[in-house]
């Protein structure tokens, strides 16, 4: 039986297959998730039956155990059924960012060795246009195919409606049960010095993540978690969803974040806890105060980063802010919850159960309290952390040098053991809750025939997050304007990766070792922002 408490965790019993079956047996009629846009609810018993049927359908269609299956949706019930259904029977789920298209989508599908994909109808054309470049992708299942006179784009692989998988019926028996060490998921993280890496998640690690969040973020069966962050990211899938499963509580799922709909959703669903990253809190705080600000049941709001006006947020909305530090690359490191003193509000909290955490200098020497350095950590529990990156042994080894996982983030521990995050050492950009690889944006820009070189970097935005800026060098004798470059990015990147600020320059500042001095570009751009081309002042905006 799967544990309900962290202290009872046994990795040998921990698989998604066993967790879903166990929760269904304990409360089959208990609601697991309600999809707010449609008013549909799936109980734990229905989740168990639907995911078993989907797995059986994949069996019948010849999708082999251990096959890698991409799941490409925006938030919906079908996405959850596909994500967990792939795992039942021992296959590997590969959640794909729904905004990916062109070269970026091709990379995600090819690098993860996806032989099948389950995709919503609206996003299917993006996959179809890559048909000649993905020879391994042999089966595609399209959810919610709209009734329309024109056919879907041609595809050389086998394309079938998603509903046919569910029509297979429950398995008659003999379906392969995955093991706790078996790979359950490949989840992409932002690239830093190279392309996005695919993080390996064994079954035991995903189950532990859910139990760990449920424990430190105080989930109980009576909770309703309002989920609006995308389910293809760790925050919503590993955090909110797995914590809900672990605690046997319920979820209220939104299609995406809406500042105007947020509190209405919270009230109508009876949500008691929610989880957000990025500037969500900024947007909510910016709304005019009103008499209904406390008219809700929300009592715990997990936010990363914690805004500087955190105490005012708590007072205005009548809730407690929580926070954390962790990486999908490895595991969670610290937690700040309602039991911690509010004087420490703004920190990432204290070290979690079963975790060791240190602050080290450039030589991996531990630093005393108050001295900043790189945050490193390790997990004491077998199979409770990611074993590494898929097809990237050197990067895996380097990230775990000297027997500690190196986060690439900088911070310090105070005298009371609270972690205070400072900044990111890695060359990545965070915008609207998304981690953006500067390298991937640069590679997309370099594929433009007029571009000789480019540097992509973060600029301070009007909110607490970053905006994407780029400085571009054109080939001698060529002509290209800023909007053309941005349109090229929009055709080959996710919408949130498309740069906002652009400058065309004769050259890039370099160190003696021929590395671009991005800090110089950033300082100049921020000092002369009004001189840069700004996408928000143009007529072109990338579509979702």
DSSP class per residue in 182-223: SEEEEEE---SSSSPPEEEEEHHHHHHHHHHHHHHTT--TT-
Determine how many CB atoms are found less than 10 A away from the CB of residue 498. 23
Q: What is the pLDDT of residue 145?
A: 53
Yes or no: say if 36 and 53 are a contact pair by the CB < 8 Å rule: no
Residue 158, strand partner residues: 139
| pLDDT for residue 305 is more than 90 | no
Report the C-alpha gap between 123 and 101 in whole angstroms.
Answer: 9
Angle among Cα 188, 191, 193 to the nearest 5 degrees reads 155
SS3 224: strand
Tens of pLDDT, residues 381-421: 999 999 999 999 999 999 999 999 999 988 999 999 999 99
8 Å CB contact between 305 and 349 = no
| Residue 425 CB burial class (10 angstroms; 0-12, 13-18, ≥19) | middle
- Whether residue 150 is predicted with pLDDT greater than 70 in this model: the reply is no
Q: How confident is the model at residue 149 (pLDDT cuts 50, 70, 90)?
A: very low
Tell me what pLDDT residue 380 has: 96
**CA neighbours closer than 13 Å in the CB half-sphere of residue 388:** 14
Q: Which helix (H) or strand (E) holds 26?
A: helix 16-26
Place of tokens 């080894």: 397
Distance, C-alpha 37 to centroid of its chain: 22
Q: Indicate the pLDDT class of residue 427, thresholds 50, 70 and 90.
A: low
CA atoms within 13 A on the CB side of 78: 19
* Residue 155 DSSP symbol: -
Mean pLDDT of the chain: 91
Pairing of strands 92-95, 68-72: parallel
Query: Residue 164: what pLDDT?
Result: 87
Higher pLDDT, 460 or 451: 451
Residue entry with tokens 């398995």:
171
Give the distance between the most distant pair of CA atoms in the chain. 71
315-352: b (≥16 Cβ within 10 Å) or e: eebebbbbbbbbbbbbbbbbbbbeebeeebbbbbbbbb
H or E segment at 358?
Answer: strand 355-360
Q: What's the pLDDT at 147? A: 46
Terminal alpha carbon distance of the chain: 42
Check residues 159 and 210 and name the one with the higher pLDDT.
210
pLDDT of residue 110: 97
What residue spans of 248-309 are helical by DSSP H? 262-269, 280-285
Q: Look at residue 157 in the predicted model and tell me its pLDDT.
A: 57
Would you tell me which CATH number, out of the four given (3.30.70.2660, 3.30.360.10, 3.40.50.980, 3.40.930.10), belongs to the domain 9-26+40-180?
3.40.50.980
The larger pLDDT score, comparing residue 470 to residue 519, is at: 470
Per-residue pLDDT tens over the stretch 240-285: 999 999 999 999 999 999 999 999 999 999 999 999 987 788 889 9
Cis peptide before 305 (omega within 30 of 0): yes
DSSP, residue by residue, 238-301: IIIIHHHHHHT-EEEE-SS--TTTHHHHHHHHT--EEEEETTHHHHHHTSPP-TTTT-S---EE
* 27-50: pLDDT as tens digits: 999 999 999 999 999 999 999 999
Q: Is 383 left (phi over 0), alpha (psi -120 to 50) or beta?
A: left
Distance, CA of 381 to CA of 315 (rounded, Å): 38
Q: Flag whether pLDDT at 192 surpasses 50.
A: no
CATH 3.40.50.12780 boundaries in the chain: 205-388+405-424
**How would residue 151 be classed by pLDDT, with cut points 50, 70 and 90?**
low
Model pLDDT, residue 307: 84
Comma-separated ranges of CATH 3.40.50.980 domains in the chain: 9-26+40-180
Q: How many CB atoms lie within 10 A of CB 285?
A: 16
Joined together, the tokens standing for residue 320 give: 């407690």
What residue ranges in 103-145 does DSSP mark as E strands? Answer: 114-120, 139-143
pLDDT tens-digit series, residues 63-122: 999 999 999 999 999 999 999 999 998 999 999 999 899 999 999 999 999 999 999 999
Mind giving me the DSSP string for 403-460? GSEEEEEEEEE-TTS-EEEEEE-SSEEEETTEEEEHHHHHHHHHTSTTEEEEEEEEEE
Question: What was the pLDDT predicted at 435?
Answer: 76
pTM of the model: 0.85
pLDDT at 430: 77
Q: 429-537, what's its fold? A: GMP Synthetase; Chain A, domain 3 (3.30.300)
Q: Is the pLDDT of residue 16 over 60?
A: yes
How far apart are alpha carbons 483 and 492 in whole angstroms? 14
| DSSP 8-state symbol, 340 | S
Sign of CA dihedral 104, 51, 158, 391: positive
Class for the domain spanning 205-388+405-424: alpha beta
Q: Sorting pLDDT into bands at 50, 70 and 90, what band is 286? A: confident
For 519-528, what is the mean pLDDT? 89
pLDDT for 385? 97
Better-predicted residue by pLDDT, 174 or 91: 91
Q: How far apart are CA 478 and CA 430, in angstroms?
A: 32
Sheet with 224-227: list strands edge to edge. Answer: 40-43, 31-35, 250-253, 224-227, 273-277, 300-304, 320-326, 332-336, 350-351
pLDDT in tens, 331-376: 999 999 999 999 999 999 999 999 999 999 989 999 999 998 999 9
Domain with CATH 3.30.300.30 in the chain: 429-537
């Amino acid at each position: 039986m799967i544990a309900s408490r962290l202290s009872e965790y046994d990795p040998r019993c921990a698989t998604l297959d066993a967790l879903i079956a166990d929760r269904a047996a304990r409360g089959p009629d208990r609601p697991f998730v309600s999809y707010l846009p449609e008013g549909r609810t799936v109980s734990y018993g229905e989740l168990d039956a639907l995911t078993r049927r989907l797995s059986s359908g994949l069996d019948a269609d010849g999708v082999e155990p251990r096959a890698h299956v991409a799941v490409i949706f925006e938030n919906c019930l079908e996405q959850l059924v596909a994500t967990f259904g792939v795992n039942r029977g021992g296959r590997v789920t590969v959640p794909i960012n729904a905004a990916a298209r062109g070269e970026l989508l091709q990379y995600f599908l090819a690098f993860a060795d996806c032989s099948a994909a389950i995709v919503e109808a609206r996003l299917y054309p993006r996959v179809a246009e890559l048909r000649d470049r993905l020879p391994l992708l042999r089966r595609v299942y399209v959810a919610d195919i709209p009734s329309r006179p024109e056919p879907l784009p041609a595809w050389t692989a086998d394309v079938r409606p998603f509903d046919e998988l569910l029509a297979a019926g429950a398995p008659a028996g003999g379906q392969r049960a995955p093991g706790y060490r078996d790979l359950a998921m490949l989840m992409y993280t932002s690239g830093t010095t190279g392309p996005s890496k695919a993080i390996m998640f064994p079954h035991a690690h995903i189950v532990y993540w859910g139990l760990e969040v449920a424990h430190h973020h105080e989930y109980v069966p009576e909770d309703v978690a309002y989920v609006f962050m995308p389910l293809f990211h760790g925050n919503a899938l590993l955090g909110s969803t797995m914590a809900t499963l672990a605690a046997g509580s319920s979820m209220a799922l939104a299609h995406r974040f809406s500042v105007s709909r947020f509190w209405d959703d919270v009230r109508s669903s009876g949500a008691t806890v929610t989880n957000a990253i990025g500037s969500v809190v900024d947007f909510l705080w910016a709304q005019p105060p009103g008499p209904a600000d406390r008219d809700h049941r929300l009592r715990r709001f997990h936010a990363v980063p914690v805004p500087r006006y955190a105490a005012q947020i708590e007072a205005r909305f009548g809730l407690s802010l929580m926070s954390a530090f962790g990486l999908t690359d490895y595991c969670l490191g610290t937690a700040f919850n309602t039991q911690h003193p509010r004087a420490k509000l703004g920190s990432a909290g204290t070290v979690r159960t079963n975790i060791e955490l240190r602050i080290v200098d450039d030589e991996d020497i531990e630093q005393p309290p108050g001295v900043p350095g790189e945050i490193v950590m390790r997990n004491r529990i077998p199979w409770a952390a990611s074993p590494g990156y898929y097809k990237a042994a050197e990067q895996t080894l380097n990230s775990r040098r000297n027997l500690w996982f190196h986060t690439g983030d900088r911070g310090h521990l105070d005298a009371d053991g609270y972690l205070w995050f400072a900044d990111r050492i890695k060359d990545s950009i965070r915008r609207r809750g998304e981690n953006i690889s500067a390298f991937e944006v640069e590679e997309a820009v370099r594929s433009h025939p007029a571009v000789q070189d480019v540097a992509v970097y973060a600029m301070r935005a009007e909110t607490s997050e970053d905006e994407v800026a780029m400085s571009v060098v054109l080939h001698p004798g060529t002509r290209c304007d800023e909007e053309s470059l941005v349109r090229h990015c929009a055709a080959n990147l996710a919408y949130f990766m498309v740069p906002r600020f652009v400058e065309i320059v004769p050259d890039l500042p370099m160190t003696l070792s021929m590395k671009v001095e991005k800090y110089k570009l950033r300082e100049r751009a921020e000092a002369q922002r009004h001189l840069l081309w700004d996408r928000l002042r143009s007529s072109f905006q990338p579509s979702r």
